[in-house]
Chains A and B, each alone.
Chain A
Amino acid sequence: MDSLSVIVNGISMGAIYGLIALGLTLIFGIMKIINFAHGALLMLSMMCSYWTWKYTGINPYLLIIMIAPVMFVIGYSTERFFIKPVLDAQKDVREPIAVLLLTAAFAIVLENLSLMLFGADYVMAKTTVTDATIAFGGVTLSAARFYALIIALVISGGFYLFLQYTELGRKLRSCGQDRNTASLMGIDVPKTFAIAFGIGTALLAVAAITLLPFYYVHPTVGNVFMTKAFIVVVLGGLGSVPGALLGGIIIGLIESIGAQYMTATLTTVIVYAIFLLILFIKPSGLFGSRLEW
């Protein structure tokens, strides 16, 4: 009974990691940029969702329709006005580390901006979902976690299909494979990049809303999930959507099961160690490589 609880918990939490990593893997895969502002953007999504919920009382899950477009615009403009100029200036540099640092500095800006705007208090959107639990076969799972699992599955599946079968999806993938060729084929690469960044950020809004009913919101909350999201992305394979979800679930399971045999702090070290091992042995990740695109 208990081992089942542990596994179910690992999967549900892992699915959320996967959902958070989805936007990162997209940006990573297409633009080859590590977005260190990913955690801060998650935080921003959570802040926006929380305060909208607080003042309107709309069901958090319905907020997705409102917050996701807002975050898309934020992501799109961020790419357009901040990242693109740096990317252009470093066109002939092989490893554009300036962009990476730009996103890291951007994260500092966002974190402290929301500290000034929203204050330093820990808050949580306590809704009817928050304290509800679902029990089946002796396993209890909070309703919020259960919904999060379902949303993660649906969104990942939908996003996968979107990338595979729509015109925009194909455009995005072609830019990820070879931006020069894509450009020759008449694809507006800079615009596609901005869209990719926008979609990646909008996906964060979805992750933010699944977290909202059971996780606290605070200007530093992004840091909790960011390193994990990176690990998930590498584990699952750069730019691979199913990889992100599966990678997330694997990390969730390691954390959940590992903590039963050792302390929770040591489990985090194990996660790092596994991550490094994957990097050394199979840098393309467990599930596919960028060639799959």
Chain B
Amino acid sequence: MWLYILKRVLQGLLTVWFIATATFFAMHNVPGDPLTNDRAMTETTRANLEAKYGLDQPITTQYLIFLRNLARGDFGISFVQENREVNDIIREHFPVSAILGVLAVVFAATGGVLFGALTALYRNRLPDYLIMFLVILGISVPSFVVAALSQLSLVSLNTLVGFTVLPVAGWGTVMHMLVPALVLGLSTMAYLTRLMRSSMLEVTSSDYVRTAKSKGVPPTRIFTRHQLRNAILPVVTVLGPAIAAITTGGFVVELVFAIPGLGRYFVEAVQQLDYTVIMGTTVFYGAFLVFMVILVDVVYGFIDPRVRLDS
């Protein structure tokens, strides 16, 4: 077991190193650099700035310096947000993304399990059709459309009622979180609903459920103990990567709802060619994703004893 975890962690580190290296060289190969600005600079100014940020060094030297600082967990100072360390940016803004992400996952998981169970129970009847229709919508409509539409409906709602029921954008109170989190979790919720439904149907027609029924086990007990509990396993499997994906993928929602999360920095850094922030956020998100995948694999071993980790 411990050997397995160690092996996975080493693999994970290798993955993160690979992500960092690929990003580093891809980024430096893009035309332009962080110093490029629409007011052209004199040679002297450019030379001074390059020296200040170490951009005058050969690329291999820059890479080695980057690796050395990475080992120390130091990503340096942002080119655009001068005076701000990349670590500070991550420290201040990741919690916002994380809180939003956690709430979105909670929404997605509860919604997915409940709706999935409901559709399986009422298979081929009205609730099933209705929910599955919405699920298809939830999966196929991109989040920026849903985000914009829900924001628009908030405006209409507030106008209709005459006071601010739910704020349209911003961050700070529970009220600010509800709609963005729901929007962020929506496609995952839809996906989980489908997963839960098919998983439930499979379990329902399984031998042990039939046996339990014929034994005369009470329906509520069959439903909870035999059906739900077994059907929920695949959902748990995808939950880990889903948490990572949601937490790191919220930049559209963050943008639309003006939420000061990390996703915005991630995207803007690429547009601004802000080298240090690109590296910092990419490595951080990469490591986070890898960690979540490992975590799920390990936890899965505890939930389902049939999974033998060390073999």
User: Do A and B form a real pair?
Assistant: no
